[in-house]
Amino acid sequence: MTDQISDGRLDLLRSFLAVYRAGSITGGARALGLSQPTVTGQIQALEQQWGRQLFQRVPRGVLPTTVADELAARVAGPLDELALVTAPVAASAPSEPVHLGGPAELLALRVMPSLASLVTRSVRLRVTAGLADDLLDGLRQGRYDLVISTVRPRGRVLTATPLTDEEFVLVAAGPVDDLERAPLIAYAEDVPIVRRYWRHVFGRRLTTRPAVVLADLRGVLSMVVAGGGWTVLPRYLCAAELESGALTLLNDPDDPPINTAYLVERTAAPATAHLALVRAALLSAGPAW
Protein backbone atom coordinates (compact mmCIF):
# COMPACT_ATOMS: atom_id res chain seq x y z
CA MET A 1 0.00 0.00 0.00
CA THR A 2 1.53 3.34 -1.00
CA ASP A 3 1.89 6.29 1.36
CA GLN A 4 -0.42 8.40 -0.78
CA ILE A 5 -3.84 6.88 -1.37
CA SER A 6 -6.39 8.40 -3.72
CA ASP A 7 -9.90 9.27 -2.56
CA GLY A 8 -11.22 6.46 -4.76
CA ARG A 9 -8.97 3.92 -3.07
CA LEU A 10 -10.04 5.24 0.34
CA ASP A 11 -13.68 4.65 -0.61
CA LEU A 12 -12.85 1.05 -1.51
CA LEU A 13 -11.07 0.52 1.79
CA ARG A 14 -13.90 2.11 3.76
CA SER A 15 -16.39 -0.23 2.09
CA PHE A 16 -14.11 -3.20 2.71
CA LEU A 17 -13.83 -2.38 6.42
CA ALA A 18 -17.59 -1.83 6.76
CA VAL A 19 -18.33 -5.22 5.17
CA TYR A 20 -15.61 -6.90 7.24
CA ARG A 21 -17.07 -5.55 10.47
CA ALA A 22 -20.72 -6.20 9.57
CA GLY A 23 -20.12 -9.70 8.23
CA SER A 24 -22.24 -9.06 5.14
CA ILE A 25 -22.49 -6.84 2.08
CA THR A 26 -25.96 -5.72 3.19
CA GLY A 27 -24.79 -4.74 6.66
CA GLY A 28 -21.77 -2.90 5.30
CA ALA A 29 -23.90 -0.98 2.81
CA ARG A 30 -26.35 -0.03 5.57
CA ALA A 31 -23.53 1.24 7.79
CA LEU A 32 -22.18 3.39 4.95
CA GLY A 33 -25.54 4.61 3.67
CA LEU A 34 -24.81 3.15 0.23
CA SER A 35 -26.69 0.72 -1.99
CA GLN A 36 -25.79 -2.96 -1.88
CA PRO A 37 -24.78 -3.06 -5.60
CA THR A 38 -22.43 -0.12 -5.06
CA VAL A 39 -20.66 -1.82 -2.17
CA THR A 40 -20.54 -5.13 -4.04
CA GLY A 41 -18.85 -3.36 -6.96
CA GLN A 42 -16.36 -1.68 -4.64
CA ILE A 43 -15.40 -4.97 -3.01
CA GLN A 44 -14.94 -6.58 -6.42
CA ALA A 45 -12.81 -3.65 -7.57
CA LEU A 46 -10.61 -3.89 -4.48
CA GLU A 47 -10.19 -7.63 -4.98
CA GLN A 48 -9.14 -7.02 -8.58
CA GLN A 49 -6.65 -4.32 -7.55
CA TRP A 50 -5.33 -6.44 -4.69
CA GLY A 51 -5.23 -9.58 -6.80
CA ARG A 52 -6.54 -11.68 -3.91
CA GLN A 53 -9.92 -12.87 -2.67
CA LEU A 54 -11.07 -10.96 0.39
CA PHE A 55 -14.38 -12.64 1.21
CA GLN A 56 -16.04 -16.00 0.76
CA ARG A 57 -19.75 -15.68 -0.01
CA VAL A 58 -21.93 -17.79 2.28
CA PRO A 59 -25.75 -18.01 2.64
CA ARG A 60 -25.83 -15.72 5.70
CA GLY A 61 -23.28 -13.12 4.56
CA VAL A 62 -19.55 -13.24 3.89
CA LEU A 63 -16.57 -14.77 5.63
CA PRO A 64 -13.24 -12.92 5.50
CA THR A 65 -10.19 -14.72 4.15
CA THR A 66 -6.84 -14.55 5.91
CA VAL A 67 -5.91 -11.84 3.40
CA ALA A 68 -8.91 -9.82 4.60
CA ASP A 69 -7.92 -10.33 8.23
CA GLU A 70 -4.45 -8.95 7.51
CA LEU A 71 -5.81 -6.01 5.52
CA ALA A 72 -8.36 -5.14 8.23
CA ALA A 73 -5.64 -5.15 10.88
CA ARG A 74 -3.59 -2.70 8.79
CA VAL A 75 -6.30 -0.24 7.77
CA ALA A 76 -8.79 -0.22 10.67
CA GLY A 77 -6.82 2.15 12.92
CA PRO A 78 -5.87 4.71 10.25
CA LEU A 79 -9.38 4.75 8.75
CA ASP A 80 -11.00 5.20 12.16
CA GLU A 81 -8.62 8.06 12.99
CA LEU A 82 -9.33 9.66 9.62
CA ALA A 83 -13.08 9.38 10.23
CA LEU A 84 -12.72 11.14 13.58
CA VAL A 85 -10.62 13.93 12.08
CA THR A 86 -12.97 14.54 9.17
CA ALA A 87 -16.23 14.19 11.13
CA PRO A 88 -18.25 17.40 11.61
CA VAL A 89 -17.51 19.08 14.92
CA ALA A 90 -20.54 19.23 17.24
CA ALA A 91 -19.33 19.90 20.76
CA SER A 92 -22.82 20.00 22.24
CA ALA A 93 -24.06 16.81 20.53
CA PRO A 94 -24.44 13.80 22.83
CA SER A 95 -22.33 10.72 22.19
CA GLU A 96 -23.80 7.84 20.22
CA PRO A 97 -25.57 5.23 22.39
CA VAL A 98 -23.95 1.87 23.02
CA HIS A 99 -26.28 -0.82 21.66
CA LEU A 100 -26.31 -3.92 23.85
CA GLY A 101 -28.24 -7.19 23.54
CA GLY A 102 -28.63 -10.25 25.77
CA PRO A 103 -30.98 -12.63 27.59
CA ALA A 104 -33.84 -10.80 29.28
CA GLU A 105 -33.30 -12.32 32.73
CA LEU A 106 -29.55 -11.71 32.83
CA LEU A 107 -29.99 -8.16 31.55
CA ALA A 108 -32.61 -7.34 34.17
CA LEU A 109 -30.94 -8.86 37.23
CA ARG A 110 -27.22 -8.57 36.60
CA VAL A 111 -26.25 -6.49 33.58
CA MET A 112 -28.27 -3.32 34.12
CA PRO A 113 -27.27 -2.86 37.79
CA SER A 114 -23.62 -3.30 36.74
CA LEU A 115 -23.94 -0.48 34.21
CA ALA A 116 -26.00 1.94 36.30
CA SER A 117 -23.00 4.02 37.40
CA LEU A 118 -21.99 4.63 33.79
CA VAL A 119 -25.19 6.55 33.11
CA THR A 120 -23.97 9.28 35.49
CA ARG A 121 -20.87 9.53 33.27
CA SER A 122 -23.05 10.42 30.27
CA VAL A 123 -22.96 6.92 28.77
CA ARG A 124 -26.13 6.30 26.74
CA LEU A 125 -27.46 2.76 26.37
CA ARG A 126 -29.95 1.08 24.05
CA VAL A 127 -30.65 -2.41 25.37
CA THR A 128 -32.45 -5.23 23.56
CA ALA A 129 -33.50 -8.57 25.05
CA GLY A 130 -33.70 -11.57 22.75
CA LEU A 131 -32.53 -15.03 21.78
CA ALA A 132 -28.85 -15.66 21.20
CA ASP A 133 -29.01 -16.54 17.50
CA ASP A 134 -31.13 -13.49 16.66
CA LEU A 135 -28.89 -11.14 18.62
CA LEU A 136 -25.71 -12.53 17.07
CA ASP A 137 -27.18 -12.04 13.60
CA GLY A 138 -27.96 -8.45 14.56
CA LEU A 139 -24.41 -7.98 15.81
CA ARG A 140 -23.04 -9.20 12.48
CA GLN A 141 -25.34 -6.76 10.69
CA GLY A 142 -24.15 -3.87 12.84
CA ARG A 143 -27.36 -3.36 14.82
CA TYR A 144 -25.57 -3.96 18.14
CA ASP A 145 -22.17 -3.08 19.55
CA LEU A 146 -22.07 -5.83 22.18
CA VAL A 147 -24.08 -8.98 22.76
CA ILE A 148 -24.13 -11.28 25.78
CA SER A 149 -24.67 -14.78 24.43
CA THR A 150 -24.72 -18.28 25.85
CA VAL A 151 -23.91 -19.49 22.32
CA ARG A 152 -20.27 -19.06 21.30
CA PRO A 153 -20.22 -17.78 17.70
CA ARG A 154 -18.08 -19.42 15.05
CA GLY A 155 -15.91 -17.73 12.46
CA ARG A 156 -13.69 -14.67 12.54
CA VAL A 157 -16.34 -11.97 12.17
CA LEU A 158 -17.19 -11.98 15.89
CA THR A 159 -14.93 -12.18 18.91
CA ALA A 160 -16.24 -13.86 22.09
CA THR A 161 -14.77 -13.31 25.56
CA PRO A 162 -15.94 -15.48 28.49
CA LEU A 163 -18.01 -13.28 30.79
CA THR A 164 -19.66 -15.41 33.47
CA ASP A 165 -20.65 -19.00 34.29
CA GLU A 166 -24.27 -19.87 35.07
CA GLU A 167 -24.76 -22.74 37.51
CA PHE A 168 -28.06 -24.61 37.12
CA VAL A 169 -29.99 -25.75 40.21
CA LEU A 170 -32.97 -28.06 40.72
CA VAL A 171 -35.56 -26.26 42.88
CA ALA A 172 -39.12 -26.27 44.21
CA ALA A 173 -41.05 -24.43 46.91
CA GLY A 174 -40.57 -27.39 49.25
CA PRO A 175 -39.50 -31.05 49.27
CA VAL A 176 -40.77 -33.16 46.35
CA ASP A 177 -41.19 -36.89 46.89
CA ASP A 178 -41.57 -37.92 43.26
CA LEU A 179 -40.28 -35.56 40.55
CA GLU A 180 -41.80 -37.66 37.77
CA ARG A 181 -45.30 -37.16 39.19
CA ALA A 182 -44.94 -33.55 40.37
CA PRO A 183 -45.65 -30.73 37.85
CA LEU A 184 -42.65 -29.55 35.84
CA ILE A 185 -42.56 -25.81 35.05
CA ALA A 186 -40.40 -25.18 32.00
CA TYR A 187 -39.04 -22.41 29.78
CA ALA A 188 -39.74 -24.28 26.52
CA GLU A 189 -41.70 -27.27 25.33
CA ASP A 190 -38.55 -29.30 24.71
CA VAL A 191 -37.24 -28.39 28.22
CA PRO A 192 -33.58 -27.87 27.15
CA ILE A 193 -32.37 -26.62 30.55
CA VAL A 194 -33.96 -29.48 32.47
CA ARG A 195 -32.84 -32.08 29.91
CA ARG A 196 -29.27 -30.88 30.17
CA TYR A 197 -29.42 -31.06 33.96
CA TRP A 198 -30.77 -34.62 33.82
CA ARG A 199 -28.07 -35.84 31.45
CA HIS A 200 -25.25 -34.14 33.36
CA VAL A 201 -26.30 -35.01 36.91
CA PHE A 202 -28.31 -38.23 36.61
CA GLY A 203 -26.81 -39.61 33.41
CA ARG A 204 -30.16 -40.48 31.89
CA ARG A 205 -32.82 -39.06 29.64
CA LEU A 206 -35.66 -36.98 31.05
CA THR A 207 -39.08 -38.39 30.21
CA THR A 208 -41.30 -35.96 32.16
CA ARG A 209 -43.36 -33.57 30.06
CA PRO A 210 -43.91 -30.00 31.33
CA ALA A 211 -47.15 -29.03 33.00
CA VAL A 212 -46.53 -25.33 32.28
CA VAL A 213 -44.41 -23.73 29.55
CA LEU A 214 -43.52 -20.05 29.95
CA ALA A 215 -40.82 -18.39 27.82
CA ASP A 216 -39.57 -16.17 30.64
CA LEU A 217 -37.45 -17.66 33.40
CA ARG A 218 -38.65 -14.97 35.79
CA GLY A 219 -42.20 -16.20 35.26
CA VAL A 220 -41.06 -19.80 35.76
CA LEU A 221 -39.45 -18.73 39.03
CA SER A 222 -42.64 -17.02 40.21
CA MET A 223 -44.74 -20.08 39.40
CA VAL A 224 -42.42 -22.38 41.32
CA VAL A 225 -42.18 -20.06 44.33
CA ALA A 226 -45.99 -20.03 44.44
CA GLY A 227 -45.98 -23.82 44.74
CA GLY A 228 -46.87 -24.65 41.14
CA GLY A 229 -44.20 -27.32 40.72
CA TRP A 230 -40.45 -27.79 40.25
CA THR A 231 -37.89 -26.64 37.69
CA VAL A 232 -34.21 -26.06 36.90
CA LEU A 233 -32.98 -22.44 36.97
CA PRO A 234 -29.71 -20.51 36.84
CA ARG A 235 -28.58 -20.01 40.41
CA TYR A 236 -28.20 -16.24 40.00
CA LEU A 237 -31.90 -15.97 39.15
CA CYS A 238 -33.14 -17.65 42.31
CA ALA A 239 -30.31 -16.96 44.79
CA ALA A 240 -32.44 -14.64 46.94
CA GLU A 241 -35.31 -17.15 47.08
CA LEU A 242 -32.94 -19.96 48.09
CA GLU A 243 -31.43 -17.79 50.81
CA SER A 244 -34.82 -16.73 52.17
CA GLY A 245 -36.23 -20.25 52.13
CA ALA A 246 -38.88 -19.47 49.53
CA LEU A 247 -37.23 -22.17 47.39
CA THR A 248 -35.71 -25.49 48.36
CA LEU A 249 -32.64 -26.94 46.67
CA LEU A 250 -33.73 -30.45 45.70
CA ASN A 251 -30.28 -31.70 44.74
CA ASP A 252 -26.74 -30.50 45.43
CA PRO A 253 -24.34 -32.34 43.11
CA ASP A 254 -20.57 -31.97 43.41
CA ASP A 255 -20.40 -31.18 39.69
CA PRO A 256 -23.44 -29.06 38.75
CA PRO A 257 -24.13 -28.16 35.11
CA ILE A 258 -22.44 -24.93 34.05
CA ASN A 259 -23.29 -22.70 31.10
CA THR A 260 -20.81 -20.02 29.99
CA ALA A 261 -22.06 -16.63 28.81
CA TYR A 262 -19.82 -14.69 26.44
CA LEU A 263 -19.41 -11.01 25.71
CA VAL A 264 -19.41 -10.85 21.92
CA GLU A 265 -18.36 -8.00 19.65
CA ARG A 266 -17.43 -7.50 16.03
CA THR A 267 -13.78 -8.22 15.33
CA ALA A 268 -11.83 -5.02 14.63
CA ALA A 269 -14.88 -2.85 15.34
CA PRO A 270 -14.06 0.80 16.02
CA ALA A 271 -13.48 1.46 19.71
CA THR A 272 -15.28 4.45 21.20
CA ALA A 273 -14.69 5.71 24.71
CA HIS A 274 -18.19 4.80 25.92
CA LEU A 275 -18.12 1.37 24.30
CA ALA A 276 -14.81 0.70 26.06
CA LEU A 277 -16.38 1.75 29.39
CA VAL A 278 -19.35 -0.60 28.96
CA ARG A 279 -17.11 -3.48 27.90
CA ALA A 280 -14.76 -2.97 30.86
CA ALA A 281 -17.63 -2.70 33.34
CA LEU A 282 -19.20 -5.94 32.15
CA LEU A 283 -15.94 -7.91 32.12
CA SER A 284 -15.20 -6.63 35.62
CA ALA A 285 -18.62 -7.46 37.07
CA GLY A 286 -19.34 -10.69 35.19
CA PRO A 287 -17.22 -13.11 37.25
CA ALA A 288 -19.11 -12.14 40.42
CA TRP A 289 -22.56 -12.80 38.96
Mean pLDDT of the 86-92 span = 48
Higher-confidence position of 185 and 7: 185
What is the C-alpha to C-alpha distance for residues 104 and 116, in angstroms, rounded to an integer?
A: 17
In sequence order, the 6+-apart residues with CB closer than 8 A to the CB of 35 are 29
Per-residue pLDDT, averaged over 221-225, amounts to 98
What digits encode the pLDDT tens for the residues 154-172? Answer: 877 888 889 999 999 999 9
Q: What is the pLDDT of residue 72?
A: 85
Classify the phi-psi angles of 122: left when phi > 0, otherwise alpha if psi is within -120 to 50, otherwise beta.
left
Mean pLDDT of 210-229: 97
User: pLDDT digits over 114-153, tens only?
Assistant: 999 998 888 999 999 999 999 999 999 889 999 999 999 9
SS3 (DSSP) at 278: helix
Which residue, among 166, 165, 167, 162, has the nearest Cα to 262 in the 3D structure?
162
Q: Is the per-residue pLDDT at 1 higher than 50? A: no
Output the pTM of the full model: 0.69
pLDDT tens per residue across span 201-214:
999 999 999 999 99
Cα angle 131-137-139, degrees, rounded to a multiple of 5: 100
